[in-house]
Each structure stands twice: as structure tokens, then as C-alpha cells.
Structure 1
């Protein structure tokens, strides 16, 4: 269709009444009529422009949204990375806490063991010191008793012609000892000591044993110990059980089933042997009395 035809269509008269009503329409109605009078090409151009602008706006909006989405994705990935790192740090810290707790427990256990050992050592030391103190007290009492005994003896000696021990006897801690050198049986030695007012020696402790070793000769001596009544149950001649012994290694052994009497050999050790045999001598003992 030519442009002239379009123009004429737009200018075709209307009814006079219609014209009057058109004149009284609002500006909005005039604009609508004006638009209706526009060409199709103009409408298409405006529509194209609107679509283009809409497309551009949508493109910008999509780009902005995509950019925001990308930023949010990166931030989310960063947050996930941070969360993973925090989780690993938390796991490492938990391991360190467990290791620290384990080390603390081990240290506490060692400390408790050390304190317990110190307490045990202290208790042992106290017990040992108590025993030593008691031994010292007993030795002191013995020394004082011996001192008073000697003082009394000296007083009696000064006031009379009394001698400390008979001739040939040796004094030690208030006891007199006689070392007889004669080869006789155990029963003979026992009776000989009795005839002299004493008895075959009874050895009560290591001090007495040491004294006898220092005074005897390198020969064998009978002592007052035997198990003649009951095998392997030894008694001194006064009927008391021994509180101290000085047996030779692997003795007593009752060799040949007849060793019931005890001798002191050259080294000072004790040995059981037959009572009917003989030794080089015997040792008598008696308390000193003035």
C-alpha cells in the first residue's frame, strides 16, 4: 500500500457528532488517536527499540546476576575451604589436647610413683633408724651394766684380795673363759668345766665369737652345743636354744649319722662331729664372782 493511501485513510472524515465528541475527549484520548494515526514502520521501529532496550537491560541484569552468582560461588567455596581448614585445625587441636592429656597422665603417674617410692624409702629409713636406735639403746644398756659391774668389782678388789678371774682364765664382758688344750671326748670336756665351777662355752652373739677367735690357738675346741637328744635340734649345755650360730658352710650335716656334738675348728667356724671323737681341747666359761 502507498503512503498516499495511508494518509487518506487517516484523514477520512467522521460524522460531525463524532468530531464533536472527539473534540471533548481528554488528552489521553488524543494521544491514542494520534498513535493510531502513526505508520506501521514507525510502530515496528519503536517496538524494535523497546525490545532492544529490554534485551540490553535483561542482558545487563543477567550479567549482574551471573557476576553476583560467581562472587557468591567463590565466597561459598572460600567458606567451605575455611570450614575444612577449621575442621582440620580442630582435629589437630583435639589430637594435641589428647596427647597433652596423655603426657599429663603419664607425668602424673610418674610423679605419683616417685612420691610413693619416696614415702616407702622414708618409711624404710624410719624403720631402719628405729631399729638402729633400739640396738644402740641396748648396747648402751649393756655398756652401762658392764661399767657398773666393773666398778663394783674394782670396789670389791680394793676392799679384799678377790681376783677378777682365776689364774689362766680370761675376762670378757663379765665372763671368764678358759682354753684347755687336751685331746678328750665331748662328755669329758663338759664334766671338766663343771668341776671348775663353769660349763662348756655358750656363745650368744658375734662379739663373743670374735673375742674367742682372737684368744684361741689354731686348734679345734669343743663348745657346749649338741643335738644328742633330738636330731637336728641343737641345745646348749644349759638347755637353752641357740639365738646365734656360726656354722661352717654346708654344716651341720650329721655325716655318717653320728655327729651330735659341736666343735670350733681352726678358722673359728662351727662343725658337728661325733661326740665320742676327740678334739685338741675345749673352752670353759663361767661368770665372774668375787
Structure 2
């Protein structure tokens, strides 16, 4: 009977040890598998967001639709991360409860925990870069409303300007601007005049102003008079013996000077013979 009692105790101890080992194995497996899934999701999220960030950065100024798509995908990835983070915390709590039973897996868990934190740091850094790009995009939107100009044209205040590299007479310049989808430039205010003068760099450029119809009645190519636009920048001579512009000088062309250009004198206007070949400035609205 005494031997039977000892044998019974031994069997009971082995059974309890086996059950404890099985419970530990199951708990370990439950923790490892979700954490491996979390790591895979986070790595996939970082790769996707990194690709989107690269594409967005290379086409920021003229890719508004792609930006909207990227923004939506970013929010989706953020939602996945938040959900994954909540699952991670639940698993961490489960691990802490079971830590007394999982002592053999502590090193593996510590490694996975470090990897999770590394991935989170990378994602947070990517998130910061995304926000920087978003801020840059918003600055661009505020300044230029994401409008674009044809190649070779200069953008200024919602308008595109082409400063020609070839010379034509006034009518040829007017017609060429029309073929390009614009017109000879019309000056509407002091700020635009400063911009044109700076870009012309003291070289004659035709502008869209003439008095071909009626001498002395200057009109723009859209048929508005100078009194309607309200701005006048004719060159004024300091020599009292010489007339200010427009002076309709007829020494070179008996028909007079009936077309206006930006002059060599700080970009102020002067009249010239319409037959003269000059550089010219076209303008058109920037496209959205």
C-alpha cells in the first residue's frame, strides 16, 4: 500500500507538469503569431507609405489628384496602425499576465518588442516627412493655386508670360501670340509693370498697345483704352527740349510710330514704328 501511494504521487506530479508545459506552449504561440502578423503589417505599411511619399514629392506642384489619393491611403494606413497598436497593447497585457508561465520566451518577446518599437520609430519619421510635404504643398497652393504654365513661360500672379527669343514686327508679334493661345501683354497695374521691366532687362519688347485706328487714341489688343485700365507708364525725358513719349517720331517711318514697346529706359513705354522688328511679350492665363 505504501508503494502504491508513492507511485500515485509520482504520476500525479508528471501529469501536472505535462499540463503546465502544454499551457505554456499554447500561451506562447498565441502571443507570437499575432506579433509576427503585426510586424508584417507595419513593414508593409512603411513600404507603401514610403513609395507614396516618393511619388508625391516628385510631382507635388502639378499632381493634385494623386496627392488626394495619397492622402486617403495615408489615412487608411494610419487607421491600420492605430488598430494594430491597440492589438499590440492587448497582447502585451496578456503577456504580462502570463509572464510567470512564459519565462523561457522572454528573450524572444524582448526581441520582437524591440523590432516593433524600431518599426514604429521608422513610421513616425515617415509620418513627419509626410506632414512636411503636406505643409510644402499647402504653401504652394496658397502662392500659386497649383496653376501651371507651358514650358518656357514664366509664372506670375495666375498669369503666364512668354518673353520671346526671336524678333518680329508688331503685327507679326501680335499674331504669333494668338497662335500660342495668348495675346500681346496688357499692363494692368504698377506691380505687373515692374515685373515686365525686370524681365525685359532694358531690351525693347513689344506690348499689346497701339494707336493704329486713331492717332493719339491708344488702345490695348482687347480694345480697352488707357483710361479704362487706369495705368500709364510713358517714358518722360529730362531734357525740356525733347518731347516725352509717345512722340510719334517720323524720321525713320513717315507713317509715324503707332505701336508701343517697353523701352530701354527702366522699362517705361515708348512708341515705335510698327514695322520695326523687336522682341515681344505674350501672356495667357495659367491653367489649373
Question: What TM-score does the superposition give when structure 1 sets the normalisation length?
Answer: 0.44
Greater relative contact order: 1 or 2 (C-alpha under 8 angstroms, separation 6 or more)? 2
Question: What TM-score does the superposition give when structure 2 sets the normalisation length?
Answer: 0.44
The structure number with the bigger radius of gyration is: 1
